[in-house]
Amino acid sequence: MLAVVTGASGFIGRSLVRGLADRGPVIAIDRLPGPHSPGVTTLNADLLDEDPAVRHALHGADVVFHLAGCPDVRDSRPDADSWRHRDNVLATAAVLAAVPAHVPVLMTSSSSVYGGSRRGRPCAEHHRLRPRGGYASSKVAAERLCRNRLRAGGAVTVVRPFTVAGEGQRPGMALS
């Protein structure tokens, strides 16, 4: 089973690639180089560059883990929202367009789509989305693309992780 991981050099991607490499062939795609396990094919490419190797990998996958995106919720640069849209929405559209409908895609969204807790209670999956800011809005837009794929008969799952912690996380995180 050929697994393709976008965002493979990121915090979650590195761990996922290591775990998948023990189970079969993996193609790791990221703009940034990263340390990967033996037997992993690495493609350093931007998902929006229409790289033929990336398109071929996505088209030939048995499963795709789409982790790529703009991860910085707190980025306050004037052009941050345009980068978020590019990396979270347009890149998701490119991945979904390249992957055949029957191939399962797992897309990583964010708990930020909920807009915070309600009256001090934890968020639940069925809660209404209340994105606050450009990052959360871009994740909602990417989820909408996935929902469209699902409605058209495609295979897709969206996950909304909350705080992700572990070995190798970047400094400045709440649990670092």
User: 91 lies in a domain?
Assistant: yes
Instruction: Average the pLDDT over each of 6-10, 12-16, 126-130, 149-153 and give the range with the smallest value.
Output: 126-130
What is the structure's pLDDT at 173? 63
Kindly state the percentage of the chain with pLDDT values over 70.
91
User: 165 lies in a domain?
Assistant: no
Q: Is the pLDDT of residue 176 over 70?
A: no
User: 65 lies in a domain?
Assistant: yes
Residue range(s) defining the domain that contains residue 78: 3-159
What's the CA gap between 136 and 17, in Å, rounded? Answer: 26
User: 167 lies in a domain?
Assistant: no
CB 66 within 8 A of CB 16: no
What's the CA gap between 15 and 36, in Å, rounded? Answer: 9
User: 175 lies in a domain?
Assistant: no
Q: Looking at residue 36, which CATH number applies to its domain? A: 3.40.50.720
The C-alpha angle 150, 156, 161, rounded to 5 degrees, equals: 125
User: 132 lies in a domain?
Assistant: yes
Joined tokens for residue 168:
């190798």
Q: What is the pLDDT of residues 2-50, one digit of tens each?
A: 999 999 999 899 999 999 999 999 999 999 987 667 889 999 999 999 8
User: 174 lies in a domain?
Assistant: no
What is the structure's pLDDT at 58? 98
Within the chain, how many helices (H) and strands (E) appear?
A: 5, 6
Joined tokens for residue 9:
């050099």
pTM: 0.90
User: 176 lies in a domain?
Assistant: no
CB 142 within 8 A of CB 131: no
Q: How confident is the model at residue 122 (pLDDT cuts 50, 70, 90)?
A: confident
Q: Is the pLDDT of residue 1 over 90?
A: yes
- Kindly report the backbone phi and psi dihedral angles of residue 40, in degrees, each rounded to the nearest multiple of 5, phi listed first: -95, 130
**Which residues share a beta bridge with 156?**
105
* C-alpha atoms less than 13 angstroms from C-alpha of 28 in its C-beta half-sphere: 25
Residue with more model confidence, 168 or 176: 168
Q: Is 64 exposed, middle or buried (0-12, 13-18, 19+ CB in 10 A)?
A: buried
What is the three-class DSSP state of 161?
coil
Q: Classify the phi-psi angles of 59: left when phi > 0, otherwise alpha if psi is within -120 to 50, otherwise beta.
A: alpha
Per the structure, how many domains does the chain have? 1
